[in-house]
């Protein structure tokens, strides 16, 4: 029996994942080099320690962690995270463990969005979050970026335009470190300017930060959350961090920190959506941290990816025509190429596939109707350094 | 900073969990016997085999299961489940693995509910699901039950009333086996009548089935899903089953089966809400099944609970005054007591707490405004048999 006529408006309006479908067209092509996805390298997975931690916690604490757990998340894991991040004056009620970052972002979206509300984001931004906001029937307005991150003047203008048009802006979504898809990191000054502006206009910030631990050169920049903390603006920024790029996305463990007010509401959604994250896996990660394995693991991951990242940036220098510009990330997984005006990366994708190299056309990272087409994203966390170099060479040959 | 004025309507309208708050008032009372919660006994947890399965799958398949996994769920687990349940003509696209039953129920709710839509449920029913439907702004209409399950005539009447009032009924939510909170199992005949009616009026059924494997006497009754299958009504029933009561709720693993159309939409929501369930835990459960441990485990769980269930039913016979009636479940975790008219179980709760015994007042299991008060739920899966007997005795003494 068919019931599509009974589906909710949000469900009826949902499309399939364009990126997934695009990547699917490259599957099974022998010798294809994929610079398309956003997968971490399996060589980064610490199978031995993770296997051992799982076994230990189930044997030792099975009575506790096989039972129903707190919707707020595992207390042991939260304790370790507060220590690790050196969060000051943070209570357990200001942190929520979730089933990956996307899950935290979804709860935040549910906490704020009524149909028709405006969410501000960077242009371009992470598609996975944008489709979540759209599924809650938000209107997305994307704001131009420069080398230092989101353009504050354009942001002010967008907020003013919304106010004039009677549109309700609920929050700003930003990925300040090694942004997906551009690789751009927001400068410290820009972060301070952003906090000042958003406090003034009373619009909260959702800071999505899955990549900041993947730094191959340069200095760490404090999170927007920490900058707001120094100004006693708890609640202005909700920070989401994930273990996906360090331990493995298959675990589905991330966390959010914010005010007790916002975390409490996100937790109410978790109760209704998942009851709690997987308690065994939460405790396994806590054990991994208790054994001081995390600092070592981050070192291993960064040592692994440094030659991947070098191979990417060197190959771009060596092979790309002068008319192509690209970002210069100091970490993360992605670099963003800007092609000459008029070149369409969606068309280039088809030609590149013939040359056995895949990327994601830039248009896929903008809200509908706000697309740019002369741009594309390359990944450097999955194909190995030699393949990255060869892939960039192939791509350059068709430019 | 406070942002509550920006919260979505659904968020602003959410209350805290009444049951949680009630249970919290009994915490820390020395010697208190709790027949309140719905927790499985930790004695049912198979820590050794679960620990071993976790270790094996991470060591052997870590490259696969620590990576991003399918939003549809782990293919190996789905294969095992299709074999285990003897589902005929079922493709992988007709099954979705989820982060526990609540998660599957949430996706189903998201697939169908627009604000103001009507969801039909049993009176009483499982509060966790009811609050999920309410959070999506559905109107709940609860239908009387008798010893054989939902009353078909009352159901027909409710559907007719909705049609007359221009209300859109999106689905019926039912727990046909050892229902929470009543312990009632819907008879085979009633299931057939229900399938016939719902096919005729074109309203789909959400069958929540976490308890059917916990049977201590009597014969298994085919699921509503299987009855509909025999009539080639795929899609009419979406069945949700869980590992929570067999392996442990802390794992957060459940699954849904339905038509490809409905499962596809639920999967689109999973992509936006969780990306995928925890891949390591999914594969751990697959391994547990591949090793033929599940049939043994269900035997262990049923052997464990049989004396708990016997203790409950015997104590009720031995101690309860004749004016109190109760259901006679053949399995599961709950029995439902009906007190004389005018007796308020919410008031009884306070007196019982003084006598150091806890239960859940029946009023908590009805949609708002449809409460009954002379009823209560007792659990027999957590307190041990001696404690169950003593708890019932204490409760009877204040009746």
Residue ranges of chain B with pLDDT lower than 50? none
Q: Which pLDDT value is given to residue A132?
A: 92
Q: Which residues of A touch B114 (CB under 8 A)?
A: 8-9
CB contact under 8 A, A235 and B40: no
Question: What is the percentage of chain B residues whose pLDDT exceeds 90?
Answer: 94
Q: Which pLDDT value is given to residue B18?
A: 73
CB contact under 8 A, B55 and A51: yes
Chain B residue whose CA is closest to A40: B67
pTM for the model: 0.97
Please tell me which of the candidates B45, B235, B278 has its beta carbon nearest to residue A252: B278
Q: Which residues of A touch B288 (CB under 8 A)?
A: none
Q: Which residues of B touch A3 (CB under 8 A)?
A: 112, 202, 204, 235, 259, 261-262
Q: Which pLDDT value is given to residue B26?
A: 82
- Top residue of B2, B4, B5, B6 to mutate, by most chain A CBs within 10 Å, is B6
The helix, strand and coil proportions of chain B, stated in percent and rounded to the nearest 5, come to: 45, 15, 35
CB contact under 8 A, A102 and B272: yes
Please tell me which of the candidates A67, A235, A244 has its beta carbon nearest to residue B1: A235
Q: Which helix (H) or strand (E) holds A268?
A: helix A260-273
CB contact under 8 A, B68 and A249: yes
**Of A113, A119, A169, which is closest to residue A141 (Cα–Cα)?**
A119
Q: Which pLDDT value is given to residue B23?
A: 78
CB contact under 8 A, A1 and B202: yes
Q: Which pLDDT value is given to residue A399?
A: 87
Q: Do domains B4-45+295-397 and B49-292 have the same CATH topology?
A: no
- Within B167-255, residue ranges assigned H as helices are 188-201, 224-230
Reported CATH class of domain B49-292: alpha beta
Q: Which residues contact A120 (CB under 8 A, 6 or more apart)?
A: A141, A142, A143, A155, A158, A159, A169, A171, A172, A173, A203
- Top residue of B36, B72, B273 to mutate, by most chain A CBs within 10 Å, is B273
Q: Which residues of A touch B235 (CB under 8 A)?
A: 1-3
Q: Which helix (H) or strand (E) holds B186?
A: none
Chain B residue whose CA is closest to A134: B272
Please tell me which of the candidates A55, A234, A268 has its beta carbon nearest to residue B51: A55
Please tell me which of the candidates A67, A111, A271 has its beta carbon nearest to residue B42: A67
Q: Which residues of B touch A204 (CB under 8 A)?
A: 1, 3, 6
Chain A nearest CA to B231, separation (Å): 11
Chain A nearest CA to B207, separation (Å): 16
Q: Which pLDDT value is given to residue B266?
A: 97
Per-residue pLDDT of chain A (399 residues; tens, 9 = 90+): 999 999 999 998 887 667 777 777 888 899 999 999 899 999 999 999 999 999 999 999 999 999 999 999 999 999 999 999 999 889 999 999 999 999 999 999 999 999 999 999 999 999 999 999 999 999 999 999 999 999 999 999 999 999 999 999 999 999 999 999 999 999 999 999 999 999 999 999 999 999 999 999 999 999 999 999 999 999 999 999 999 999 999 999 999 999 999 999 999 999 999 999 999 999 999 999 999 999 999 999 999 999 999 999 999 999 999 999 999 999 999 999 999 999 999 999 999 999 999 999 999 999 999 999 999 999 999 999 999 999 999 999 998
The torsion angle over the Cα atoms of residues B382, B384, B390 and B392, rounded to 10 degrees, is 40
Q: Which pLDDT value is given to residue B290?
A: 98
| Gap between the Cα atoms of B24 and B37, Å rounded | 11
**Of B390, B321, B368, which is closest to residue B123 (Cα–Cα)?**
B368
| Residue pairs between chains A and B whose CB atoms are closer than 8 Å | 268
Chain B nearest CA to A129, separation (Å): 8
Q: Which pLDDT value is given to residue B13?
A: 83
Chain B nearest CA to A319, separation (Å): 31
The string over A262-278, giving b where at least 16 C-beta atoms fall within 10 Å of a residue's C-beta and e elsewhere, is bbbbbbbbbbbbbbbbb
Angle between helices B385-397 and B293-319 (to 10 degrees): 30
Tokens 């009754």 belong to: B221
- Chain-centroid distance of CA B197 in Å reads 23
Q: Which pLDDT value is given to residue A19?
A: 75
Fold of the A49-291 domain: 3.40.640
Chain B nearest CA to A117, separation (Å): 9
Fold of the B4-45+295-397 domain: 3.90.1150
**Domain boundary assignment for chain B:** 4-45+295-397, 49-292
Q: Which residues of B touch A265 (CB under 8 A)?
A: 7, 11, 14
CB contact under 8 A, A106 and B272: yes
CB contact under 8 A, B102 and A273: yes
Chain B nearest CA to A60, separation (Å): 9
CB contact under 8 A, A59 and B42: no
């Amino acid at each position: 029996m068919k019931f599509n006529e009974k589906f909710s408006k949000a469900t009826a309006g949902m499309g399939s994942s364009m990126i997934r479908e695009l990547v699917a067209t490259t599957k099974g092509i022998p010798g294809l080099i994929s610079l398309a996805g956003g997968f971490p390298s399996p060589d980064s997975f610490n199978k031995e320690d993770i296997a051992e931690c799982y076994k230990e916690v189930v044997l030792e604490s099975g009575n506790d962690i096989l039972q129903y757990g707190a919707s707020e998340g595992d207390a042991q894991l939260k304790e370790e995270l507060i220590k690790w991040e050196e969060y000051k004056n943070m209570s357990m009620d200001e942190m929520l463990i979730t089933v990956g970052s996307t899950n935290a972002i979804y709860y935040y979206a549910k906490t704020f969005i009524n149909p028709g509300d405006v969410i501000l984001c960077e242009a371009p931004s992470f598609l996975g979050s944008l489709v979540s906001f759209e599924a809650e029937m938000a209107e997305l307005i994307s704001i131009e970026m420069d080398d230092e991150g989101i353009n504050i003047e354009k942001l002010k203008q967008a907020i003013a335009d919304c106010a004039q048009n009677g549109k309700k802006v609920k929050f700003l979504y930003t990925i300040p470190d090694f942004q997906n898809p551009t690789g751009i990191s927001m400068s410290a000054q820009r972060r301070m300017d952003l906090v000042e502006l958003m406090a003034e206009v009373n619009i909260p910030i959702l800071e999505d930060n899955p990549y900041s631990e993947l730094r191959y050169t340069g200095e760490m920049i404090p999170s927007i959350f920490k900058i707001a903390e120094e100004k006693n603006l708890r609640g202005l920024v909700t920070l989401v961090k994930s273990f996906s790029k360090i331990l493995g996305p298959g675990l589905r463990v991330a966390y959010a920190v914010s005010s007790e007010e916002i975390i409490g509401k996100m937790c109410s959604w978790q109760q209704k959506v998942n009851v709690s994250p997987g308690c065994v896996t939460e405790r396994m990660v806590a054990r991994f941290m208790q054994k001081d394995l995390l600092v070592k693991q981050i070192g291993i991951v960064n040592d692994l990816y440094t030659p991947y990242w070098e191979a990417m940036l060197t190959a771009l220098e060596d092979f790309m025509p002068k008319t192509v510009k690209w970002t210069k990330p100091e970490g993360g997984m992605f670099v963003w190429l800007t092609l000459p005006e008029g070149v369409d990366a969606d068309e280039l994708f088809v030609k590149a596939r013939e040359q056995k190299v895949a990327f994601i056309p830039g248009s896929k990272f903008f809200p509908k109707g706000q697309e740019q087409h002369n741009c594309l994203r390359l990944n450097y966390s999955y194909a190995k350094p030699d393949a990255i170099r060869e892939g960039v060479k192939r791509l350059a040959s068709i430019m």
